[in-house]
Structure 1
Amino acid sequence: MKNLSALLSKNLEILAPYLKKKNIVEISINKPQEVWIETTNKGWSCIKDKNLTHARLMSLTKILATESHQDFDEETPILSLSLPKYNYRLQVISGAAVDSGFALSIRVTTEVEIPLSSWFDKTTIKALKSHIKDRKTILVSGGTGSGKTTLLNSLLREIDNNDRIVTLEDSKELIIKQPNHIRLLKSKTGTDVAKLTYKDFINVIMRLRPDRILLGEIDVENTANFLRLINTGHDGSFATIHANTIKGAISAIVLNCQLAGFQGTEDAVAKYALSHIDLIIQVDRHIDENNNRTFSAEIKEVNA
């Protein structure tokens, strides 16, 4: 393992100049020898880099896959994981599945603590803290790059340190300060060697005796399983979902349930799906003409 870690460290050097940059939001490689950087204050910019050859990028990705116990080859050209040392979410697709032969994107997250006052006024913050203390289940909704995980991390700091927490993510993005916690990782693309399913993880979680369950992101594969958990006594849980509006978040939950095989009318599915979700927080990102970013959020009490 030590030799592998040394090998990984050496191969990561080709990305080091970009990983060290300040104010980075996303690092993307659309094709070898070209990297696109998104920053908080300047938007996207392109840099030509002869060191980012196809061979070196593939070598790095194969090492990352091996270290994370996942497959990556011609038959499995997609890889999702947390970048070691940084814990940034990394997505790779290669081979005939992408026109350029290789594409990569790294979502850069920060552990800087952002106060709830960045989104809400004092009255709303007081109400949110009360909801968390009262073990309300909260869903954070927003589009790509809207700040869902950032807001969720701010909310998680309000959880009591005596609570036992189990998280399930495809990459390590949640910042858990509470000492009694377990972090489970599910391969986004199913490329893990063990081939564990969400059903496998849900069965494990139910036997790990959590006070709260934190799900990194709701999608078609795990919506039904998450609802099963929160409908069996696991109040005070949290999750995120991709949607541009609160109404869209509810529709996405219903659609995911229907795709997972739930029977009944749309209203019946919605009633079941939302029966134990207490609050939906919608996060939005705004970019002005100078590429400066601001964020906003609104709250809907589902079961008021």
Structure 2
Amino acid sequence: MIELDVTYENGTKKKVILPPPIKIGKGEENDLVIKSWRVSKHHATITRDDGFAFISDNYSLLGVFLNGRKIQTQQKLKIGDEIIIGPTKMKVLQVPKKEQISRLETNPKVEPISTAREQVPNNILRILHGELISAMDLRKLKSTHGSTNELRQRADEVLDQIIEEGTERFSSFNKEELKKLVIDEAFGLGPLEDLLKDEEVSEIMVNSHKDIYVERSGRLQRTDVSFSGESAVLSVIDRIVSPLGRRIDENSPMVDARLKDGSRVNAVIPPIALKGASINIRKFSKKILGVKALIEKGTLTSEMASFLNFAVLNKMNILISGGTGTGKTTVLNILTAAIPHSERLITIEDAAELQLQHPHTVSLEARPANAEGQGQVTIRDLLRNALRMRPDRIVVGECRGAEAFDMLSAMNTGHEGSLSTLHANSPREALNRLETMILMASMELPLAAIREHIASSVDFIVQLTRLNDGRRIVSSIVEVGGVDSGIIQLQELYTYKKATNTFSYSGLMPSSFEILRENGQPIPQTMFI
């Protein structure tokens, strides 16, 4: 239990005895409610970890003060501490009894970072982190001094001194390991640093400060690494978004960003993240895959690859459809390799992920509104501008909304051979989503006209699926035909048979290929075997 002596703005006093975690704010759902305009809805939280009590600021507007100083990170509480939140003063009368910290053997074995991290109690890391911040005004240093490498070097020297002075507390732990963990959390991404370096990891999911998952080879795995506390996660999020001019706080608790290597980041914080701040990182692959790699992985057959290569080369408009994490961007990257280098290519993305190896490329990226709600540039804005840039082809990273109409118009008016992706679980569902997105454009077109527009613009849909074993496959390639009785006709050309784990060809020749043959274009028969 934690006992607090609370003094309110009007002078009223009362003692509060509550088990941690204790949520403090003006919202009625909090354990300790403080009604004041100076207090945020979810202002602060007192937690218990490894036998210690800690207080953290939940990104409140006016902050939390401990013993007269505004806290920047999670701080340990002790009896006699004075907390000020808005107009309310709280004195700590009782905190949980300190639990015995288990010691490691004197000569620890050299182990992977995840195991070594698990052996260092979070409270030890928090103590070191707090003492490092006390010795170095990190925020001031970052704004007035040089590179992060210089700051890391200085922090290394300060930690040497802190560990030396606290020999009794830290002697059982590997000194270099302790320093690395603390410095990573103070200047980098904490325990995520090593996960980002792991080439087998494609996605990192932080559910809470001590609950981190990764995706390896298409499968989710729980890791044995963790942050030292909630405030460490919040600091990492702030470190990611601040250089990009983005903000995240109680009024704007969600943000999209990307790391220096291009990895895509999404972060959410309380009050909408109920278990604490959460981070999702879709890693930016350093290895650029080719179609050969997809064939070796069993994503598709060599015949299917030849078919798609021929379709791209001959300016067919292609939509790549699939659920989250099915590899749509990867396949889009690979298909663009077939575009002749003599053509001008413009890519448009919400968050830059494409790694095109095309020499004549202009890459455009959408921009969200700033804190004042100004400066937004949407994918639709970029599409309209791209048409003035003399493109031969346009590649839209992902089609999500009203820009679908402009994209299809471009495909149908002199920019053949364009490509895009969208979220759908089947080719038919992909068409339904396109219809919905065009309706979002407020064009007030009848459904029949929308379907004619889609049928005349899209040649093929490539459907991607992720199997239970983690493999990603091209489950279907269909040709989009005309409209019959008000329904867009689809002709399946290639399909994946789950029962036999094989791909099969329907034996049908796409009508668009028939037109090419009639115009004297030879059609390689090897792709129909």
Structure 2 length normalisation: TM-score? 0.52
1:35 aligned residue: 212
Q: What letter corresponds to residue 147 of structure 1 in structure 2?
A: G
Larger radius of gyration: 2
Question: Identity rate of aligned residues, in percent?
Answer: 26
Contact 2:288 2:355 in 1 (8 A): no
Query: How many Å apart are 1:260 and its aligned residue?
Result: 2.4
Q: 2:392 aligns with which of 211, 218, 227?
A: 211
Q: What letter corresponds to residue 43 of structure 1 in structure 2?
A: L
Between 1:139-148 and 1:118-127, the stretch displaced more is 118-127
Q: What letter corresponds to residue 447 of structure 2 in structure 1?
A: E
Aligned residue pairs: how many? 298
**Hey, what's the Cα distance between the residues in 2 that align with 1:194 and 1:66?**
17
What pairs up with 1:219-234 in 2 under 5 angstroms?
219-234=400-415
Q: 2:337 aligns with which of 150, 157, 163?
A: 157
**Hey, what's the Cα distance between the residues in 1 that align with 2:352 and 2:217?**
22
Contact 1:143 1:243 in 2 (8 A): yes
Which fold has the larger relative contact order, with Cα–Cα distance below 8 Å and residues 6 or more apart in sequence?
A: 1
Structure 1 length normalisation: TM-score? 0.87
**Hey, what's the Cα distance between the residues in 1 that align with 2:238 and 2:379?**
25
Q: 1:190 to 1:287 in 2, by over 3 A?
A: farther
Q: Cα deviations across residues 32-84 of structure 1 (Å, max 9, x unaligned)?
A: 23211121165322434133x33233233233323223333332222112221
Q: What letter corresponds to residue 84 of structure 1 in structure 2?
A: K
Contact 1:31 1:102 in 2 (8 A): yes
**Hey, what's the Cα distance between the residues in 2 that align with 1:90 and 1:153?**
20
Q: 1:131 to 1:16 in 2, by over 3 A?
A: same
1:139 aligned residue: 319
Contact 1:91 1:106 in 2 (8 A): yes
Q: Secondary structure at the match of 1:274?
A: helix
Q: 1:202 to 1:190 in 2, by over 3 A?
A: same
Query: How many Å apart are 1:97 and its aligned residue?
Result: 1.8
2:376 aligned residue: 195
Q: What letter corresponds to residue 61 of structure 1 in structure 2?
A: I
Please say if 1:279 is aligned against 2:456: no
**Hey, what's the Cα distance between the residues in 1 that align with 2:337 and 2:148?**
32
Contact 2:350 2:379 in 1 (8 A): no
Q: Cα deviations across residues 236-293 of structure 1 (Å, max 9, x unaligned)?
A: 11110000000010001001111222334433312213321111100111123xxx52
1:64 aligned residue: 240
Please say if 1:295 is aligned against 2:473: yes
Structure 2: stretches of 5+ with no match in the other structure: 1-142, 153-183, 482-510, 512-529
Contact 2:384 2:406 in 1 (8 A): no
Q: 1:41 to 1:202 in 2, by over 3 A?
A: closer
**Hey, what's the Cα distance between the residues in 2 that align with 1:43 and 1:114?**
25
Please say if 1:91 is aligned against 2:266: yes
Q: What letter corresponds to residue 414 of structure 2 in structure 1?
A: G
**Hey, what's the Cα distance between the residues in 1 that align with 2:311 and 2:218?**
34
Structure 1: stretches of 5+ with no match in the other structure: none
Contact 1:262 1:269 in 2 (8 A): no
Q: Cα deviations across residues 142-190 of structure 1 (Å, max 9, x unaligned)?
A: 0111111111111111111222211111222211101121211114x65
Q: What letter corresponds to residue 161 of structure 1 in structure 2?
A: H
Contact 2:269 2:276 in 1 (8 A): yes
Contact 2:464 2:472 in 1 (8 A): no
Q: 1:256 to 1:13 in 2, by over 3 A?
A: same
1:255 aligned residue: 436
